[in-house]
Amino acid sequence: MQTPLTKNGRKIAMGLKNVKTSLPTISKELERTNSSREFLIKNNRAVIINCSQAIISIHKKDLVTAKNKIKKAKEQLAKLKQKAIGDLGRYVLTPEQELVEAISLLAIIEGKDVPSYKSLKVSGESYILGLLDCIGELKRQVIDTIRVGNLKKAEGLFDMMENLYLMLYPFATYDKIVKETRRKLDVNRSLVEDTRTILTEEIRRQKLIETINKTKK
């Protein structure tokens, strides 16, 4: 028979002995989880910053710096993942996404294959969102390339930009699972069409100039 609590609460009911032994263990587990969570929140921004700086360097054509920043971001992300166990994995989604964006942009600029999500060791969600963000950076690359008069390269970059968008478009179906997918796709549709207009106008302008020059001869 269980021993009830006394009126002044000094006697612990025998029925709670398992609770008494369980709670300290749970407390320690939660303390470790909270410590890991605070570590992830504090340090994931370092990965994001390095990836952002890598993208800026790519646009400046400083690929050496870009590669160094990406290497550093990879190392930092690896340390984060050691703490991102279970539900804490959500704290590395944004850093992974930024890394995918930077690495994909660099690969495209260098004329290399964009790595798979398995080779990058990132989640499928981060991979999709990172590629969607890369489309916006490709628009800037197209415009910068037009500015220096390299239309052929600009057309190649635009083709890559459009094909990437078309490949990712079906993932709008999974918007409830991969959040932001539909919104990013809507934004990217406008980016693709705007870039197409800019490129088409420049091609027409160049053809007009060529025609005028031929007429003068």
98, 101, 161, 164, 170 from 167: Cα distances, Å: 19, 16, 10, 5, 7
Amino acid identity of 39?
F
Q: What percent of the chain has pLDDT over 90?
A: 62
pLDDT of 1 = 43
Q: pLDDT tens across 123-153, in order?
A: 999 999 999 999 999 999 999 999 998 999 9
pLDDT of 16 = 82
Amino acid identity of 45?
R
Q: pLDDT tens across 154-191, in order?
A: 999 999 999 999 999 999 998 888 888 999 999 999 99
Banded pLDDT at 11 (limits 50, 70, 90)? low
Could you count the other beta carbons within 10 Å of the beta carbon of residue 81?
18
Is 123-217 a CATH 1.20.1070.10 domain?
Answer: no
Higher local confidence (pLDDT), 134 or 84: 134
18-122 CATH fold: Methane Monooxygenase Hydroxylase; Chain G, domain 1 (1.20.58)
> Which two structure tokens, joined as six digits, stand for 18?
């398992």
Distance CA 31, CA 35 (A): 6
Sequence length of the chain is 217
Q: Where are the domains of the chain?
A: 18-122, 123-217
Mean pLDDT of the region 60-82: 94
The answer to whether 37 touches 87, Cβ cutoff 8 Å, is no
Global pTM value: 0.84
180, 182, 184 from 176: Cα distances, Å: 9, 9, 13
Please name the residues in contact with 104: beta carbons below 8 A apart, sequence gap of 6 or more. 114, 115, 130, 131, 134
Banded pLDDT at 39 (limits 50, 70, 90)? confident
pLDDT of 13 = 64
Distance CA 179, CA 15 (A): 46
> Identical fold at 18-122 and 123-217?
yes
Please name the residues in contact with 95: beta carbons below 8 A apart, sequence gap of 6 or more. 44, 47, 48, 51, 73, 76, 77, 80
